[in-house]
Each structure stands twice: as structure tokens, then as C-alpha cells.
Amino acid sequence: MDIHKSLNMMMKLDFPFFSGRFQSATLWILESVLHPAALVLLGSAFLISLSGCNGGSKSDSPPAQANSGKANPSETSSGDQSASPSESEGSPKKPGQKYVDGIPYDVFFDRPLSVAAENTSPPAMSVTENPTPGNTTPDNKMASNNPPATTPPSQTTPPAATGAQSWENIMKKDALLDQITQLRNTLTANVNSVGSFNRELLAIQIDAATLAALAGVAGQMQDDFTWKPKAPAVRDAASEIAVAAETRGRPSFEIAEKNFLNIVEILNGGTPAELPESNPETVFSDVADRNLLMKKIKIHADWSRTTVSDEATLKSEKEEVMSRAALLRLLGEVVNLNDYVFAEEKDYKTFCQELIDGARQMYEGAEKDDYNLYSTGFELFNKSCNDCHPVYLNN
């Protein structure tokens, strides 16, 4: 038996709940959703029930034709081959009304597919616990419990100084420690009372910034010494002193005094109470102001210009010249680090390298008692300062 006809017969039964739009919707859902085999079984069940109601008729024709024997010609059309139950009982059709299988067309939903979709639960979707990262695309984003593998960042230790050289090649450990001792002695006199602190604010700033830079270098040296593990603490305390010395008065003095006493205790081999934690890595631009370091360079350059005027004075001041020239070179290397603003500019690099080379020649000239070499180095050093200051001094 044709499934569609069987369903029509089922829907034409005069059941109260099979009327109007509900009949049409039910018909469509049964045809669309149920398996054909299920429809056959369901249709057979209704036909058995129908046979009991109509005296056991086994005709495949719709009930109206079985009872009347023939169809009313006036009611037969290409789309209407059977009469509805209401018509069998004498209910007239409305003029102009469209029918489908004897059922008024207006009982059908306008958009049956949309109605069915809105009332039908979507099929369950399988969830992959660990989707492959490679399957994720901008149009198909998938959450993953396993984040994509990443390469750990490199933990390469930065070079201790500019280029491939180490700090020991610029200044020996003993010379560096001697420079730190000299700064300690100067600060001892200037950070002694509120009065001396207020009088020597600029000198304190310069010496404290220089000490911070040297302590940063000391912490990066390969050679060991007593307080090397606490070099970062000395660096930070010296930086705090330089900041405190920007303002006169007792509150600033007390900050500077506290930090300086911590430095003294560390240099003496002790461990101050409640010592703040310091980062072992040094960012020189954060702890040593470049302008203050340049003022220190100027102080030593002025001393060299006024003191060493011939070979005799070079020999008589040999140790002092070598000490100052070594510090000039070291500070030149520090301000040439990329920590500082402009340090990546070509002109800035050129000026710094001239300063470094000039200071190195000054050191070697004093070491060899060679005034000509010393003088050549000083001229190069002085040229670097004269060329650099108009461009970068006030920037």
C-alpha cells in the first residue's frame, strides 16, 4: 500500500485531536521523521482499526469512495481525488477554497520545514577531548585541553660588558675594589651629618651614582671577593643615596645615612638587618644616572688636563693617572651599554668608542711612561667629549 495514501486515511479519521493544522503538521512530521518501516506498521494498525469501524472493508480506496461507490464528478480534480469526511456528511466546499486531498489548503503550515526544525531537537554532537591543534582554523576554532607546545625562552646570560670582552679586561678586580674604597671614604665624610649632607648634595649624587655602577660591574665579574654575593645590595643602596641627595634636609639625610651604613657593613663582610631583596641582574640605566656618570668623567678629565702637562708629571703621578684613566674607560663602557637612551645610535656609539679608546691610550701611556701615547689618548678622549656634548648633553 502507498504510504502517503495510508497516512491520508489515518488523518481523515474523525478524531478530535487530528483536525486542522495539527493533521497537516502531524502528517509531515510522520513522513519526514519516522522510518518507512515504522510508517507501514503504523498505517497497518490504523487500517485494521478502520476495517472494524467500516464493516471490514478491504478496499484500498479512501473511505468516501468505498461508501459511495463512486466519486462526485463535480468534486474531482487533478489534485483532489477523494472527499473529506466533512464532505461525505454533506458539508459543502467553500467557493474559491483550495484543497489538497480534500483537506483545506489553509490548514497547512506556510513553512513546514522551519516549523519542524524549531520543534525538533538537533542531533547530539560528539566532543573530542583532545582535538589536534593542527585542525584548528580561523573558521573552525576548537578548544583544547592541551595547549600548543612552546619553546622555552632562552636563558642566555648577557655579556658582562660591551662586545665580547669581560669587565676584568677593562679593570682588574683589585683596581675596582680600590675605586670602591675611595668612593666609600668620600661618602663617609659627606654623609656624616645633616650639615655636611646639605653642603655636598651634588658631590654625593655623583659619587653614589658611580658607586652604584661599580657595584653593578663587581657583581658581574668572574673573580670572587668577600662581598660579591651582596654586590646587588650595595648597588641598590648607592642608587638610593643618589636619589636622596636630590633634596636637602633631615628626612633625605636619614635615608642616605641608613643606606650608606648598610653599604659599610656589607663592605666590612657583615649582613645588615632587614636588608631589602635586590635583583641579581643589573640594568645600569636604572641605578646609575648617565648625567651623573658623565660629571664624574669630567672631574677626572679636568684633573688630567691641569695636572699632567709633560713627561715628568706623567711619571710622578703615574699611579694616579693609571687609576683615573682606568675609571674613565670603565665608565665609558658603562654608558655605552644599550641600557641607556641613544646607546643604539651610530653617532653615540662612535663618541663612546672614542672616549674608551682615548682612556685606554692614556692608561697605556702612563704605564709605559710614554707621554706621547698618553697625550694622543687624551686628545682623542677630549675630542669625543667636544663632539658628543652639543648633540647629547642636553638630551
SS (H, E, C) 256-286: HHHHHHHHHHHHCCCCCCCCCCCCCCCCHHH
Q: Is residue 155 part of a domain?
A: no
Q: Is the pTM of this model over 0.85?
A: no
Query: 352, 332 in Cβ contact below 8 A?
Result: yes
The answer as to whether 91 is a domain residue is yes
Domain count along the chain:
3
Q: Are residues 210 and 252 in the same domain?
A: yes
CA 203-206-212 angle, 5° bins: 135
- Distance (Å, whole) CA 390 – CA 126: 72
Same domain, yes or no, for 268 and 319? Answer: no
Under DSSP, the state recorded for 49 is H
**Domain-embedded: residue 141:** no
Final residue of a structural domain among 240, 268, 287: 287
Asked which of 287, 322, 341 is the last residue of a domain, the reply is 287
* Judgement on whether residues 304 and 265 belong to the same structural domain of the protein: no
Q: Tell me if 125 is assigned to some domain.
A: no
| Of the residues 245, 268, 287, the one at which a domain ends | 287
| Domain presence at residue 386 | yes
Q: CA-CA distances (angstroms) from residue 9 to 52, 83, 265, 269, 351?
A: 14, 11, 107, 107, 103
**One domain, residues 209 and 281:** yes
Cα–Cα distances in Å, from 332 out to 19, 210, 293, 350, 352?
99, 12, 9, 12, 6
Domain hosting 101: range is 3-118
Q: Could you tell me if 62 and 102 lie in one domain?
A: yes
Same-domain pairing of 99 and 182: no
- Sign, Cα dihedral of 272, 273, 279, 283: negative
What pLDDT, on the 0 to 100 scale, is given for residue 274? 84
Task: Mark whether 180 and 272 lie in a shared domain.
Answer: yes
pLDDT for 44: 54
Q: Which residues in the chain land under pLDDT 50?
A: 1, 13-19, 46, 48-91, 114-115, 117-118, 120-165
Check whether residue 107 and residue 179 sit in a common domain. Answer: no
Tell me: do 15 and 87 sit in the same domain.
yes
One domain for residues 372 and 281: no
Cα–Cα distance, 67 to 242 (Å, whole number) = 115
The pLDDT of residue 130 is: 39
Q: Are residues 179 and 271 in the same domain?
A: yes
Tell me if 208 is assigned to some domain: yes
Nearest to 88 by CA among 70, 100, 105: 70
Whether 231 is in a domain gets the answer yes
Look at residue 139 and tell me if it is in a domain: no
Q: What is the pLDDT of residue 146?
A: 42
CA-to-CA distance for 332 and 363, rounded, in angstroms? 14
